[in-house]
Structure 1
Amino acid sequence: MITLFDVPSTVPGKAWSLNMWRARFSLNYKGLPYKTQWIEYPEIAPVLKSHNIGPTKYFPDGSPYYSVPAILDIDDKTGEIKAALAESYDIAKYLDDAYPDTPRLLPDDETQVKAVKEFSKEFINIIWLPSLYLILCKAVLAKLNPASHEHFSKARARDLHPFYGKDRLEEIPLSAEEEAEEWKKIEGCFNALEKSIKGTDEKGQWFLGDQITFADFVIGGFLIWTRKILGEESEGWKYIKGWNDGRWVRFLDGLKEYSQRID
Structure 2
Amino acid sequence: MSHSVITLYDINSTITQPWAPNIWRIRFILNYKRLPHRTVWVELNEVEQTLRMIGAPPVGQKPDGRAVYTLPVIVDTLRSKSNPVVLSNVCTIAEYLEATYPARPICPEGSRAVQALFVHYIQEIFIKPLLPILIPLTHQRLPERTQAHLRRGGPVATPPPAAMGSYQHEQAWVAVKEQFNFLASILDKNNSDGNGVVAMGRDVSYADFALCSVLIWIERVSPHDCWARIREWNGGRWRRLHNRCREYMDVY
Give the TM-score, by structure 2 length.
0.86
Cα offset, 1:196, TM superposition: 4.3
TM-aligned CA distance change 1:96 to 1:174, over 3 Å: same
TM-aligned CA distance change 1:137 to 1:190, over 3 Å: same
| Of 48, 57, 61, the match for 1:58 | 61
Q: Distance in 2 between matches of 1:157 and 1:53?
A: 17
Equivalent residue number for residue 235 of structure 2: 245
Equivalent residue number for residue 189 of structure 1: 179
Q: Distance in 2 between matches of 1:198 and 1:61?
A: 47
- 8 A Cα contact 1:72 1:81, kept in partner: no
Q: Distance in 2 between matches of 1:151 and 1:219?
A: 30
**Greater helix content:** 1
| Of 3, 8, 20, the match for 1:17 | 20
TM-aligned CA distance change 1:209 to 1:152, over 3 Å: farther
Cα offset, 1:27, TM superposition: 0.8
- 8 A Cα contact 1:18 1:221, kept in partner: yes
- 8 A Cα contact 2:7 2:75, kept in partner: yes
Equivalent residue number for residue 45 of structure 2: 42
Q: Distance in 2 between matches of 1:47 and 1:123?
A: 29
Percent identity over the alignment?
28
Equivalent residue number for residue 164 of structure 2: 174
- 2:200 aligned with 1:208, yes or no? yes
Flag structure 2 segments of 5+ consecutive residues without an equivalent.
Answer: none
Cα offset, 1:51, TM superposition: 2.0
TM-aligned CA distance change 1:96 to 1:243, over 3 Å: same
Cα offset, 1:72, TM superposition: 0.1
Alpha-carbon displacement from aligned partner over 1:197-235 (angstroms, at most 9, x marks no partner): 345x3443211221221111110100010011012x21x
Q: Which moved more, 1:53-62 or 1:37-46?
A: 53-62
What letter is aligned with 1:133?
Answer: L
Give the TM-score, by structure 1 length.
0.82
Q: Distance in 2 between matches of 1:209 and 1:247?
A: 13
Equivalent residue number for residue 262 of structure 1: 251
Flag structure 1 segments of 5+ consecutive residues without an equivalent.
Answer: 159-166
Equivalent residue number for residue 147 of structure 1: 145
Equivalent residue number for residue 94 of structure 1: 96
- 8 A Cα contact 2:133 2:172, kept in partner: no
What letter is aligned with 2:187?
Answer: I
